[in-house]
């Protein structure tokens, strides 16, 4: 037996022994490339800012099952916006502007890394992972270092999570000493930002499901070393949700209250308050569905309270309504999230009311059509901004309108190619909000159009 033969046999034996383990490994994720042509709304010029660029992302999630109870997950991401350095060093990771080098670079990001434990109806995961609320992500939907538990008991499901968002390290590089001006290591102080989630749902029948929700943001961070302006900042969210189906028609919704307190070093206390609610009716068609969603966030109309909504961690709310500008585009990568309805109204104390009509349709030859039309207005054209409750007023309460259209086709069963477009019209809420050449003006209509290649696997 010659040397080559022995080597080949050895490799074959190794593969044969390892083959059962290979079956426990799964890789999933997506490749996505988007070519943008868009106009962004700005406060410094009426016609906004035009952008044309090509964005690209590869996400790979490795799922390794050790046995029936134990698994490990690593989720990596590579962003390579064409011609830009992205998160790599200058001239790397998408750029190829030097004669002596290509576009490769050190730009792999860790999105998730956690231990996954399963035993009968119990699932516990520990590590950096995705944590999301079940109220359209108006509180949180993000990757975070967390412990997350899901427990099923008959028709009931309990979902609990704890996450540390910030250990409160000031990052100056100066070592910590008591009473110093810079405090880098604060692991020994109660000055963290923690998040708690508790949800419970019960399946009454195949057609009806109810649930309760509770979330707590406990922010004890110092605003600056040895100069604490906020002593304690606690925000609670609690409410109920329900979903019901009546044949081809389904309805689901939630009501959530915002409560809590901000304690200031001046001795003044500011109470949080507010409500959010949303309901959607969906009618199933032979080739898809049509839905109508109503959205409400209360306004801030009290001087000694904070009514602006304190959630939206991860900025990924209401992504199923086929909107791109007033709400979050679900396919966004490095373009930035406009989400004008939330950013300009709900989180600024004006509140928000919206109606969004949307449809999803399957077409012949692996084609599809998605569309959405939204109307947005503030709950009030006045708001009390900031801790001191200074009242500001807009010219009106109507934010505007948005129409979106997506049409796509699948090639080779996996490659999804689509053309996506959105047009937004701004109304009197935005009157005189643009300052250009020292003069007040109104923003022009904006648009977003992109060609997307999306390959989920």
**Max CA separation in the chain (angstroms):** 89
Conformation bin of residue 139: beta by default, left when phi > 0, alpha when psi is -120 to 50: alpha
Beta bridge partners of 136: none
Q: Which of 26, 48, 25 lies closest to 37 in space, CA to CA?
A: 48
Above pLDDT 70, what percent of the chain? 88
Q: Which of 303, 372, 329, 253 lies closest to 38 in space, CA to CA?
A: 329
Over 80: is that where the pLDDT of 10 sits?
no
Over 80: is that where the pLDDT of 320 sits?
yes
Q: Which of 165, 162, 271 lies closest to 221 in space, CA to CA?
A: 165
Over 70: is that where the pLDDT of 2 sits?
no
State residue 430 phi and psi, 5-degree precision. Answer: -100, 5
**pLDDT digit string, tens, across residues 54-89:** 999 999 999 999 999 999 999 999 999 999 887 777
Over 90: is that where the pLDDT of 16 sits?
no
Over 80: is that where the pLDDT of 417 sits?
yes
CA dihedral 217, 220, 223, 227 (to 10 degrees): 160
Lowest mean pLDDT among 6-15, 26-35, 337-346, 398-407: 6-15
| pLDDT class of 22 with cuts at 50, 70, 90 | low
| pLDDT class of 18 with cuts at 50, 70, 90 | low
Contact 362, 368 (CB under 8 A): yes
Contact 92, 80 (CB under 8 A): no
Over 60: is that where the pLDDT of 1 sits?
no
Rounded-to-integer distance, Cα 194 and Cα 198, Å: 14
Rounded-to-integer distance, Cα 258 and Cα 132, Å: 17
Read off the pTM: 0.89
Q: Which of 314, 331, 310 lies closest to 129 in space, CA to CA?
A: 314
Over 90: is that where the pLDDT of 202 sits?
yes
**pLDDT digit string, tens, across residues 83-112:** 988 777 777 788 887 777 778 888 899 999
Rounded-to-integer distance, Cα 409 and Cα 30, Å: 17
CA dihedral 129, 134, 136, 141 (to 10 degrees): -20
**Structure-token match 């997307």, residue found:** 452
pLDDT at 100: 75
Q: Residue 26 to residues 71, 112, 396, 456: CA-CA distances in angstroms? A: 11, 15, 53, 14
Over 60: is that where the pLDDT of 245 sits?
yes
**pLDDT digit string, tens, across residues 248-260:** 999 999 999 999 9
Q: Which H or E element spans position 9?
A: helix 3-22
pLDDT at 226: 40
Q: Which of 29, 94, 27 lies closest to 59 in space, CA to CA?
A: 29
**What would the mean pLDDT of 278-302 be, rounded to a whole number?**
96
Over 90: is that where the pLDDT of 176 sits?
no
CB atoms within 10 A of CB 405: 16
**Domains of the chain with CATH codes:** 25-456 (2.40.160.100)
Rounded-to-integer distance, Cα 123 and Cα 177, Å: 42
**pLDDT digit string, tens, across residues 369-408:** 999 999 999 999 999 876 666 789 999 999 999 999 999 9
Task: Tell me which of 6 and 156 has the higher pLDDT.
Answer: 156
State residue 369 phi and psi, 5-degree precision. Answer: -135, 130
Contact 24, 66 (CB under 8 A): yes
Contact 114, 70 (CB under 8 A): no
**Structure-token match 């996400």, residue found:** 59
pLDDT at 171: 46
| pLDDT class of 177 with cuts at 50, 70, 90 | very low
Contact 134, 213 (CB under 8 A): yes
Beta bridge partners of 301: none
**What would the mean pLDDT of 176-191 be, rounded to a whole number?**
58
pLDDT at 387: 62
pLDDT at 232: 80
Above pLDDT 90, what percent of the chain? 74
Over 50: is that where the pLDDT of 367 sits?
yes
């Amino acid at each position: 037996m010659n040397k080559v033969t022995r080597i080949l046999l050895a490799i074959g034996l190794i593969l044969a022994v390892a083959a059962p383990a290979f079956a426990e490994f799964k890789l999933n994720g997506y490749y996505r490339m988007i070519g943008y042509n868009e106009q962004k709304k700005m406060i410094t010029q009426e016609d906004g800012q035009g952008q044309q660029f090509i964005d690209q992302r590869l996400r790979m999630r490795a799922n390794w099952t050790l046995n029936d109870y134990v698994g490990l997950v690593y989720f990596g991401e590579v962003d390579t916006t064409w011609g830009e350095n992205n998160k790599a060093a200058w001239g790397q990771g998408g750029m190829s502007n030097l004669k002596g080098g290509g576009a490769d670079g050190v730009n792999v990001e860790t999105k998730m890394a956690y231990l996954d434990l399963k035993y009968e109806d119990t699932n516990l995961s520990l590590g950096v992972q995705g944590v999301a609320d079940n109220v359209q992500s108006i509180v949180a939907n993000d990757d975070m270092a967390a412990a997350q538990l899901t427990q099923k008991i008959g028709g009931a499901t309990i979902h609990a999570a704890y996450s540390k968002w910030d250990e409160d390290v000031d990052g100056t590089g100066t070592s910590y000493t008591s009473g110093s001006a810079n405090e880098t290591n604060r692991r020994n102080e109660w000055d963290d930002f923690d998040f708690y989630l508790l949800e419970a749902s019960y399946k009454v029948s195949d057609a009806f499901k109810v649930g309760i929700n509770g979330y707590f943001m406990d922010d004890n961070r110092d605003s600056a070393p040895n100069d604490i302006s906020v002593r304690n900042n606690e925000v609670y969210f609690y409410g109920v949700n329900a979903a019901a189906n009546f044949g081809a028609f389904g309805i689901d919704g939630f009501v959530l209250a915002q409560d809590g307190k901000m304690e200031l070093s001046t001795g003044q206390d500011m109470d949080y308050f507010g409500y959010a609610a949303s309901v959607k009716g969906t009618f199933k068609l032979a080739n898809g569905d049509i839905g109508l969603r109503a959205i409400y966030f209360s306004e801030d109309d009290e001087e000694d309270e904070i009514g602006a909504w304190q959630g939206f961690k991860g900025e990924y709310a209401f992504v199923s309504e086929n909107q791109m500008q007033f709400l979050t585009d679900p396919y966004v990568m490095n373009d930035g999230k406009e989400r004008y309805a939330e950013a300009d109204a709900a989180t600024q104390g004006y509140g928000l009311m919206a109606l969004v009509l949307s449809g999803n349709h399957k077409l012949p030859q692996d084609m599809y059509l998605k569309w959405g039309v939204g109307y947005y207005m503030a709950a009030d054209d006045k708001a009390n901004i900031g801790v001191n409750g200074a009242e500001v007023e807009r010219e009106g309460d109507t934010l505007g309108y948005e129409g979106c259209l997506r049409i796509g086709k699948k090639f080779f069963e996996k490659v999804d190619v689509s053309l996506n477009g959105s047009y937004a019209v701004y109304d009197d809420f935005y009157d005189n909000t643009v300052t250009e050449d020292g003069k007040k003006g109104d923003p022009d209509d904006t648009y977003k159009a992109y060609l997307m290649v999306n390959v989920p696997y």
